[in-house]
């Protein structure tokens, strides 16, 4: 009986739709410019006040201490703040990689432009991590051969920039010829697979890092760089990195 009702009702619905006129109306709108002259609604302000206070409390919670200012402009081919960020990725992401692959991260490479703020002398807070890394970039591990690492080294020489780097020791002479290139203190083997930690933006070719296209495999850690920094700051009472010999021109 249900099927018979469907057979009779469905054509009636189609008939009624066909005979119904469709009227269209033009939607109109206007642009409202938001400026400081627009007064806040007291009721809304009262409603969000507790949430704002809670967020401010979380953002300003002290995680660590910096004995001096850390500025990415203080250095030639490596900087204290860049070294800290690359070493933080190595330290915090390594346990995840070891648990998944049974192998440690060999090299970390981030980008100089990704450091968006100075870490000022004094207390380091959650807000500090958001200021240094406001983006949603995640850690990704690229499996690369020693031969592919050669492309990375050529890029670093050409860029002549203090990109955050860890695990790779690269020394150049005054003509930018490679004097030394070591990974974890050992010469690079062309046919060996190395695990390179970076962020998803760079892995996709950001900052012209096209050499990542040579990766034989890759996997995400589901770990944002910013969250990683927060965890790193919580783990270390004092953040006092320095420049060193990981990338220098002699």
**Domain range annotation of the chain:** 62-249
- Render the burial of 34-64: b for 16+ CB within 10 Å, e for the rest: eeeeeeeeeeeeeeeeeeeeeeeeeeeeebb
pLDDT of residue 22: 54
pLDDT of residue 24: 62
CA atoms of 237 and 65, how far apart (whole Å): 6
233 contacts: CB under 8 Å, gap ≥ 6: 63, 64, 124, 128, 129, 239
pLDDT of residue 28: 76
- Fold for 62-249, please state it: 5'-nucleotidase;  domain 2 (3.90.780)
Helix, strand, coil fractions of the chain, as percent rounded to 5: 40, 25, 35
Please write the tens of the pLDDT for every residue from 12-39: 444 444 455 556 667 777 777 767 777 8
pTM for this model (two decimals):
0.81
**Which tokens go with 85?**
């960020």
**Which tokens go with 127?**
């807000």
Q: Residue 54: left if φ>0, alpha if ψ -120 to 50, beta else—which one?
A: alpha
In the chain, which residues have pLDDT < 70? 1-25, 34, 54, 57
pLDDT of residue 25: 66
Cβ atoms 81, 27 nearer than 8 A: no
Please write the tens of the pLDDT for every residue from 57-69: 688 999 999 999 9
38 contacts: CB under 8 Å, gap ≥ 6: none
């Amino acid at each position: 009986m249900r099927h018979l009702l469907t057979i009779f009702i469905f054509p009636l619905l189609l008939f009624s739709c066909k005979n119904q006129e469709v009227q269209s109306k033009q939607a109109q709108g206007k642009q409202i410019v938001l400026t400081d002259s627009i007064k806040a609604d007291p009721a809304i302000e009262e409603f969000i006040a507790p949430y704002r206070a809670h967020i401010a409390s979380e953002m300003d919670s002290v995680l660590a201490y910096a004995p001096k200012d850390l500025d990415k402009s203080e250095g030639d081919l490596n900087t204290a703040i860049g070294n800290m960020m690359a070493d933080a990725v190595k330290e915090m992401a390594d346990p995840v990689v070891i648990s998944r692959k049974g192998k440690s991260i060999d090299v970390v490479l981030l980008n100089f432009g990704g450091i968006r703020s100075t870490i000022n002398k004094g207390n380091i807070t959650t807000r500090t991590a958001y200021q240094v890394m406001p983006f949603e970039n995640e850690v990704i591990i690229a499996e690369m051969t020693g031969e592919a690492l050669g492309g990375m080294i050529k890029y670093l020489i050409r860029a002549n920039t203090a990109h955050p780097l860890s695990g790779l020791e690269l020394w150049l002479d005054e003509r930018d010829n490679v004097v030394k290139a070591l990974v974890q203190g050992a010469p690079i083997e062309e046919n060996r697979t190395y695990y390179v930690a970076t962020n998803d933006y760079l892995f996709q070719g950001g900052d012209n890092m096209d050499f990542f296209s040579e990766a034989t495999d890759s996997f995400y850690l589901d770990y944002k760089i910013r969250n990683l920094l927060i965890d790193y700051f919580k783990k270390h009472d004092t953040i006092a990195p320095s420049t060193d010999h990981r990338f220098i021109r002699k």
